[in-house]
Structure 1
Amino acid sequence: MLDHTEDEAMLVDAVERFCREQLADALPAHSREHRFPTELVRAFGELGYLGTAYDPAYGGAGLGTRGAALVAEILARTDPSFAAVFLCNSAPASLIARFGSDEQKREFLEPVCAGRMIGSFGVTEPHGGSDVANIRTKAVRDGDDWILSGAKIFSTNAGTPLHGFSTVVAVTDPDKGPKGLTSFVVPVGTRGFSVGRPAAKIGWRFADSVELYFDDVRIPDRYRIGDPGDGLKQVLSVLSIGRVLVAATGLGLARRAIDLSIAHGRDRRLFGKSILEHQGLAFPLADVLTGIHAAELMVRHSAMLVDSGRPFRNETSKTKLFASQLAVDAALKAVQVHGALGVFEDCPAASLIGEAKVLEIVEGTSEIQRMVIARELLA
């Protein structure tokens, strides 16, 4: 574990205590039932952890991406699905924090920091997948309002009892292509705005992911985020920051995989000694421990770049790619350590495979990360 500032050390201690005292015993039932843990998320938010990264002027802790990454890692070491609720709220909140008006921050970011609501991110569409620029949801100017029509998919946190708003990117000038996209914030309860029903997933089991529907949704111009045409660069920036939190979640998951492997392996004996003394299992776990050390350094470095205002897109892609692959590898090795027990659903290690695989897909698939990184070859 790398050194922390005094504020970070206090944050780590507090979040670890919350996980130990309130989450560890309660979350397995929510995971089995694919049931959003409303009261636990509310309690977590009321302690101010949802606002870890944000400006104290709006109720945040001011600890930036580095602080948020610490929270995501600690949550994932307890339950990656709870970390997913945190990181998926961070995307819409960060969009408003970085590009929104003071009025928008007062109306939406402050309640997030106070734990009164969470947000969802509306970018991906049924036909588009990773092609963020190929968006069909439209927003047409009508006097002092905009009228939104279209749909989004895979919007996590939407439709839950704490869902207060969604941020949405839409086409406002079709003739300008990617430069004709604009971001908006749409409050829950706006006429014509609705969400679909959540479906069971192999990971993020209680972090609901649904479709968003915009049926001629009328919103005032004050809910436009930034200038018209800035939507794509805003979304790409927020996605790049989100990759740090996905990587931190992968790091926490890998630590959980090691925790479970050690706990089981110490008590399991074969041929007269602990199974952790057999090189066939010990060496693969040594590789995971090495990866954990590397991922921690990468997460810390990427977060520093974001918080210092330096270029960060390529580094966050490398970090997300590495840490998400580490998470999958660690999960598979944890199941292997558990042997036949690892294939049963009630084995804690078994659920890590699905949780880890999600991390290779969200906030840009591994293939997308390689495309971003490979551009360095031609720079």
Structure 2
Amino acid sequence: MILTDLNDDERMLSDALSRFAEQELAPAMPGHLERHEFPAELVRTFGEMGYMGTSYDPDYGGGGLGTRGAAIVAEILARTEPSFAAIFLCNSAPCSLISRYGSDEQKRLWLQAANEGRMVASFGVTEPHGGSDVANIKTTAVQDGDDYIINGMKLFSTNAGTPTHGFSTVVAITDPDKGAKGLSSFIVPVGTKGFSVGKRASKIGWRFADSVELYFDNVRVPAGNMVGNRGDGLRQILTVLSIGRVLMAATALGLSRRAMDLAKAYGKDRKLFGKSILEHQGLAFPLADILTKIHAAELMVRHCACLIDANRPFRNETSMAKLFASELAVEAALKAIQVHGAYGIFEEYPVSGLLGEAKVLEIAEGTSEIQRLIISRELMD
């Protein structure tokens, strides 16, 4: 059964976050977007209000609302500003890793700090030669007594190097002779000797959610910073990525709704041949198709979140939701720009930035091709 009705706690979350988005987030976004500047103070406020920890255990400072709650947060943020939603998304991956597989000490030290807004986290998985092949990792972690020494580098680590960055979770090879079963996950605190970040790069989307390279030069961390069991890294990462795809889909859903908000607001007032352009079927019918797909995407997101929260299998479903919703976001952004005509290509109109934001969602957390590969494997079962 697909559950779409919000319970009382979810409704309170939605109402409170919508007010925050309208009153605090929306007015501040244009300046940060123009400067490609990480909104550190807003991120701190957002975290201190408890939104970063929406899905996690209240014993560790979380809100206890599970994946359904996190999906609500991602959607509302993206409907206001997708780049801010990206900060939430990329904090969720390392926190989900610790929440699912970490020790009680790790949860109290790192997860609780992130849940309470004292810091944000980043994820270190992708490497230059690996890309979509997450098992093809070269970063190493060699045991030395009670410590591990990490060497290597990671790409595209969002939230790292920002004023509120507290730690990164990193996947590295601990047992080279075991192949994909020789990977393990570690928590690396900011300030650890030999751990550094590269310069931030400008992107077509996630414009102020900084994404950088991570460098590990003989980085020594205690064995107690290993998350879960040695050799479980690949299984952990694949699970966390699958959960993240629901939040990606929720973000794409929010972006699609923002695109339609902007298209309707502009289209109602724009006259062509004596009537609103939305009364012309050439534009109205494609928008009707997008609205229909938005409804379908919402059902997919909610269903996947319910599967995860019920501890039922979810990998194929989350890939379907991410594939469908992210491609919808691109379609919605393109059509919203088209509704604006020539104005849609000028940066002073918010709609102009949506296409880059949508395209990032098609690529991050696994490209559309990877999602189709995962889904197609069901044909062989």
Structure 2: 5+ residue runs without aligned partners? none
- Matched ranges for 1:1-379 at <5 A: 2-379=4-381
The superposition leaves residues 143-173 of structure 1 with CA deviations (integer Å, 9 ceiling, x where unpaired) of 0000000000000000000000000000000
Shift of 1:2: 4.2
Summarize deviations over 1:341-364 as a string: whole Å, max 9, x none.
001111111100000000000000
Structure 1 residue runs of 4 or more that deviate by more than 6 Å after TM superposition: none
Number of aligned residue pairs: 379
Overall identity of the aligned pairs, in %: 72
Name the aligned partner's letter for residue 310 of structure 2. S
Q: For structure 1, which runs of at least 5 residues remain unmatched after alignment?
A: none
CA distance in 1, matches of 2:344, 2:34: 16
What is the CA-CA distance between 1:3 and the residue it aligns to?
Answer: 2.1
Aligned partners of 1:337 and 1:8: how far apart in 2? 34
Structure-2-length-normalised TM-score: 0.99
Give secondary structure in 1 for the equivalent of 2:130.
coil
**Could you tell me how far apart the structure 1 residues matched to 2:203 and 2:257 are?**
22
CA RMSD of aligned residues (A): 0.8
Deviation at 1:29, TM superposition (A): 1.1
What whole-Å deviation, never above 9, does each CA across 1:158-196 have from its counterpart, x for those lacking one?
000000000000000000000000000000000000001
Partner Cα distance (2:366, 2:295) in 1? 23
Using the size of structure 1 for normalisation, the TM-score is 0.99
Q: Distance in 2 between matches of 1:82 and 1:332?
A: 21
Letter in 2 for 1:187: P
How far, CA to CA, are the matches of 1:114 and 1:343 in structure 2?
A: 40
Q: Secondary structure at the match of 1:316?
A: helix
Question: For 1:202 and 1:28, how far apart are their aligned partners in 2?
Answer: 15
1:106-163 deviation line (CA, Å, top 9, x unaligned): 1101111110100000000011100000000000000000000000000000000000
Q: CA–CA distance in 1 between the matches of 2:281 and 2:199? A: 47
Displacement, 1:19?
0.4
Counterpart Cα distance in 2 of 1:347 and 1:128: 37
Distance 1:351 1:357 in 2: 11
Provide Cα deviations, 1:287-338, integer angstroms capped at 9, x if missing partner. 1100100000000000011111011000000000000000000000000000
Cα distance in 2 for partners of 1:2, 1:307 equals 14
Measured in 2, the distance between the counterparts of 1:107 and 1:27 equals 31
